[in-house]
Amino acid sequence: MARKPSIGQYLLDQLHRRGVEHVFGVPGDYVLGFYDCIARSKIRCIGTTREDAAGFAADAYARLKGLGAAVVTYGVGGLSCANSIAGAYAEKSPVVLISGAPGVKERRRNPLLHHKIRTFDTQLKIYEQFTVASAALDDPLLAYREIDRVLDAVQRYRRPGYLELPRDMVDVAHPHTPRIASLEEMTDRQALGDCLAEATAILNRAKRVVVLAGVEMHRFGLQDELVSLVEKARFPVAATLLGKSVINEEHPLYLGVYEGAMGRQPIRRFVEQADCILMLGCMLTDIDLGVFTAHLDPARTIVAGSEGIEVHRHRYVDVPLRSFVRALLKAPLKRRPRPALPRRASPWGPPPPAGAPVTVAGLFRTINDFITSDHIVICDIGDACFGAADLTIRGRTDFLSPAYYASMGFACPAAVGAQFVDCRLRPIVLVGDGAFHMTGMELSTAAFYKLNPIVIVLNNHGYGTERQIHDGPFNDINLWDFSKIPQVLGAGLGFQVKTMGDLHRALADCQANPWQLCVLDVNLDPFDISPALQRLGASLGRNVHGRT
């Protein structure tokens, strides 16, 4: 007779069954028993320097792998993760946060145990606000079913979930038979048929169709289906900023990133002049829409996402995005002549001479020439992200950024998470000096596990984005010598970059040392920013003072 798995073992078995091979976290006494359980499982625990960084690493892992997990202790650990899990919720990343907790028996008479905030369920109540499903595993009769329910919801909606595991429940066992709901069960076949018939008729009637692909095409693993769809019907395809790299950006049908007034004007005109825009997995955020400067007429759009399908003004529910896209692939779509797309001109101008100071344009032009299909680009928010929107990404889902929630500090921990998904991809990490101050020392984890990211610090001596919105002394920060970080870590190479020649030599050394962690301290003028950030800053600056 097979032995019943304990609650802790069952949780790890279900994570592994769904593709999780690594979890990220920081140990603490309330979760040490579960850490012991992890050590005996097929899952490897990756220790990070702080809990919010564990959340960012698990977020990046989830974006690439399809599911990620962070494991922390109660109170001080769980609440330190709140920002990174909130960001994962906002940007639809399927992360599971597992928090240890005081034992059920310890809670009798409501003692003042360490890490407790107000009541023992305060942390659970907080996470209920920004997870798709949450549960306290404090009842052996319900715990297994609750694990199934939370993990199913995380994978169905591609949003985070929260599980709180009291330390005296880790080794408790009870009989249970697991069951995972299928996509077929989630789909209303009649609604799908009606939706598909209406969408197909509109697409075939339209003279000019453009596909706008967003972040959910990444999250639901629909990149191959996207390529097949646009090639089948010869639809031109643009990406949102959050959805960037959803398709190989050298594909002949790829237009570029559409982001309203922030984007390149030929792309904007081409998209907005289409008589039918098929929006697949898009989140209509202010940044994706260029601070709402985009003009997408609802009467000319078909909107398909995880929350439902809207064909013009008809809404269909219980039609999952995956079901709709796969059915559309089989639909009798008219094949069109190969479209004439706007010419892809370099936005950066001619290369500066070797002795010239590094500029934002010169930096991104050089990075664009440097990156290959062996790299993954991971950007923090700010000009690291906005400037990178024009980079040509040659792989699929090889560009990660917090381009909606816009939390600083994402990139360095995310590089750690990304490398545990695919160690063959070398991260190029683009991070501002302000964001590096927040979580840059997570490179200690990269050094410990012998990872090899190339970290490019855009050192403009302060909070560059905020300077464009509203400047003042509050945007100044302490100046670090970022090139000395590898010396602190005892691993890797550091480069001080002031001229274009310095930049080319540093990147050549990075290429010559493929297994080394590398940090480039790129000195930039505080007011030298990308054109996209200039436009964004002007729009946001008007909002600060209530002007329109």
Indicate the angle between helix axes 223-233 and 321-330, nearest 10 degrees: 30
Centre a 10 Å sphere on the Cβ of residue 435 and count the other Cβ atoms it contains: 25
Q: What is the pLDDT of residue 431?
A: 97
**Within a 13 Å sphere around the CA of 173, how many CA atoms are in the beta-carbon half?**
7
In angstroms, the CA 87 to CA 433 distance is 21
Q: What is the pLDDT of residue 292?
A: 67
CA 208 from centre of chain: 31
In angstroms, the CA 63 to CA 420 distance is 12
Alpha helices by DSSP H, 128-188: 140-157, 183-186
Q: Is 291 in contact with 273 (CB distance < 8 Å)?
A: no
What order do you get walking across the sheet with 314-316 strand by strand? Answer: 254-257, 237-239, 209-213, 276-280, 301-305, 308-311, 314-316
In angstroms, the CA 122 to CA 127 distance is 9
Q: Is 237 in contact with 253 (CB distance < 8 Å)?
A: yes
Q: 348 CB contacts (<8 Å, ≥6 apart)?
A: 361, 362, 364, 365, 368, 390
Q: What is the pLDDT of residue 1?
A: 40
Q: What is the pLDDT of residue 534?
A: 66
Q: Check if CATH label 3.40.50.970 holds for domain 7-181.
A: yes
Residues of the chain with CATH 3.40.50.1220: 184-330
In angstroms, the CA 281 to CA 285 distance is 12
CATH architecture entry for 360-544: 3-Layer(aba) Sandwich (3.40)
Q: Is 94 in contact with 61 (CB distance < 8 Å)?
A: no
Q: What is the CATH number of domain 184-330?
A: 3.40.50.1220
Q: Is 133 in contact with 173 (CB distance < 8 Å)?
A: no
| Nearest alpha-carbon partner for 199 in 325, 339, 338, 335 | 325
Q: Is 320 in contact with 337 (CB distance < 8 Å)?
A: no
Q: What is the pLDDT of residue 548?
A: 47
Token digits of residue 474: 């509050």
In angstroms, the CA 523 to CA 482 distance is 10
Q: What is the pLDDT of residues 206-234, one digit of tens each?
A: 999 999 999 999 999 999 999 999 999 99
Token digits of residue 146: 């609750």
Q: 139 CB contacts (<8 Å, ≥6 apart)?
A: none
| Nearest alpha-carbon partner for 66 in 92, 37, 48 | 92
Per-residue burial over 314-337, b if 16 or more Cβ lie within 10 Å, else e, is eebeebbbbbbbbbbeebebeeee
Q: What is the pLDDT of residue 541?
A: 58
Residues of the chain with CATH 3.40.50.970: 7-181, 360-544
Q: What is the pTM for the complete model shown?
A: 0.92
Q: What is the pLDDT of residue 308?
A: 87
Per-residue pLDDT tens digits of the chain, which is 548 residues long: 456 899 999 999 999 999 999 999 999 999 999 999 999 999 999 999 999 999 999 999 999 999 999 999 999 999 999 999 999 999 999 999 999 999 988 888 888 888 888 888 999 999 999 999 999 999 999 999 999 999 999 999 999 999 999 999 999 998 888 777 777 778 889 999 999 999 999 999 999 999 999 999 999 999 999 999 999 999 999 999 999 999 999 999 999 999 876 778 888 889 999 999 999 999 888 777 766 677 788 888 999 998 889 998 789 988 999 999 999 999 999 999 998 898 877 788 888 999 999 999 999 999 999 999 999 999 999 889 988 988 999 877 789 999 889 899 999 999 999 999 999 999 999 999 999 999 999 999 999 999 999 999 999 998 877 777 788 888 888 899 999 999 999 999 999 999 999 999 999 999 999 999 999 999 999 888 886 666 665 555 555 555 54
